Structure 1
Amino acid sequence: MSPKRAWLFIFLILLIDQVSKVYIKTHYSLGERTEVVSWFQILFVENDGMAWGTTLSDIFSFISDKSAKLILTLFRIIAVSFIGYWLFSVIKKKKSKVLIVAVILIFAGALGNILDSVFYGILFNDSYGQVAAFLPEEGGYAGLFYGKVVDMLHFPIWEGFLPEWIPFFGGQHFRFFEPVFNIADMAISSGIGILIFFNQRAFRELPKTDTPSEASHNNLT
């Protein structure tokens, strides 16, 4: 895959991700939902932390919420920089398309969520009991690097009480699928899934092709 194609792919993922987030942020108040079908809802939530809404301050009680948010955002920026370098490397070395597509998905998804964390706090006001405005006169709801990630895709496919015979969780209320996520999360999960389930195809060494000069030399010999 050429670098141009890779960047086009990344741009399209980011465009879909950011358009969907800006639409939700400027058309829904926090917690508002629209039922598309019984098992799929548009539900606006904001994630201030890591996966499942966990924050560093939940893990390390001595870290304040504000410091935890800044550390997490900076960590994401460093992580996506390494992923970007990895992507540049696999394209340059002409690794398998499966690996390149997987890294593209992970990179684009991570970058999409970083945009929220870095910029959304200064671009929008808060969504508590109201629909947020873009570039409000009174300023945004947080400073640079303190934005929250916008999530909206919810798939409550099944909800009920688990059978009593299930160890540890029997009789408890359960909903599948509980998490609310976004397009960027889908891209990251898809990329990781490709690396897990197509591991051998992703990391196999492709046969080297001769350069024009080498091919000419081989023909003469």
Structure 2
Amino acid sequence: MDYLKPQKWQQSGIVWLWVALLVIALDQVTKDWVLETYQLYQVEAVWPIFNLTYVRNYGAAFSFLHDAGGWQRWLFTSLAVGVSLLLSYWLRNQPRALWRVNLCYVLIIGGAIGNLVDRLQHGFVVDFLDFYWGSYHFPAFNVADIAISCGAALLILEAFYPQKLSGYPTKDDAEG
């Protein structure tokens, strides 16, 4: 699809990276607040189904591989860097007008880098949003996790309902 590749970066999806920076900033500010305000495992009831609870996640989503012995820190660090670089490359090579898919990419990038900062700075990810029903607690999460989940869910929706680019050449126009 080289016929759609923007010639200048200002015409590409890379211009949406400000959203990733916003996600990273919001994620880090909330995590810093939790670290300054709460002791490890301290629980503050907010609503009947929601607590603020400071926990450390040494694994990935839902504490996957949290007890693997330490090597998982570097695996998830490498994964975050690799995915962020790949998505940034894709952003650069598609039109900025594809805002829906660009938004998906930058939400995932922002979340991945937000958690990457924690892994590099602390050796774990700070989680603190704790939703529950009765005695069942959904695994605690953070703003970066929300961004990654929303970006991934929107990307799946985008696969079923792709955005049309009005005014852009089609493949037939490029070949003819």
TM-score of the pair, normalised by structure 1: 0.64
CA distance in structure 2 between the aligned counterparts of 1:32 and 1:84, rounded to whole angstroms: 37
- RMSD over aligned CA atoms reads 2.4
1:196 corresponds in structure 2 to: 156
1:168 corresponds in structure 2 to: none
CA distance in structure 2 between the aligned counterparts of 1:101 and 1:12, rounded to whole angstroms: 12
Supply the AA of the counterpart residue of 2:115. Answer: N
Secondary structure at the residue paired with 1:180? coil
Secondary structure at the residue paired with 2:93? helix
1:45-60 alignment to 2 at 5 Å? 45-55=55-65, 58=68
CA distance in structure 2 between the aligned counterparts of 1:88 and 1:28, rounded to whole angstroms: 40
1:67 corresponds in structure 2 to: 71
2:134 corresponds in structure 1 to: 159
Query: Of residues 12, 24, 43 in structure 1, which corresponds to 2:22?
Result: 12
1:44 corresponds in structure 2 to: 54
2:172 corresponds in structure 1 to: none
Supply the AA of the counterpart residue of 1:149. Answer: V
CA distance in structure 1 between the aligned counterparts of 2:18 and 2:74, rounded to whole angstroms: 30
List alignment gaps of at least 5 residues for structure 1: 59-64, 122-146, 161-174, 211-221
CA distance in structure 1 between the aligned counterparts of 2:43 and 2:89, rounded to whole angstroms: 38
Higher fraction of helix: 2
Query: Of residues 130, 141, 158 in structure 2, which corresponds to 1:181?
Result: 141
User: How many residue pairs are counted as aligned between the two chains?
Assistant: 159
Supply the AA of the counterpart residue of 1:150. Answer: V
| CA separation of 1:30 and 1:43: change in aligned 2, threshold 3 A | same
| CA separation of 1:193 and 1:24: change in aligned 2, threshold 3 A | same
Secondary structure at the residue paired with 1:19? helix
Supply the AA of the counterpart residue of 1:27. Answer: T
Secondary structure at the residue paired with 1:150? strand
1:50-129 alignment to 2 at 5 Å? 50-55=60-65, 58=68, 65-90=69-94, 93-94=95-96, 96-119=98-121, 121=122
| CA separation of 1:3 and 1:103: change in aligned 2, threshold 3 A | closer
CA distance in structure 1 between the aligned counterparts of 2:66 and 2:83, rounded to whole angstroms: 16
2:166 corresponds in structure 1 to: 207
List alignment gaps of at least 5 residues for structure 2: 1-10, 170-176
| CA separation of 1:56 and 1:42: change in aligned 2, threshold 3 A | closer
Larger Rg: 1
CA distance in structure 1 between the aligned counterparts of 2:83 and 2:13, rounded to whole angstroms: 21
In the TM superposition, what is the alpha-carbon distance from 1:87 to its structure 2 partner? Answer: 2.4
| CA separation of 1:191 and 1:25: change in aligned 2, threshold 3 A | same
| CA separation of 1:36 and 1:57: change in aligned 2, threshold 3 A | closer
Q: Which has the higher contact order (CA 8 A, sep 6+)?
A: 2
Q: Percent same amino acid at aligned positions? A: 28
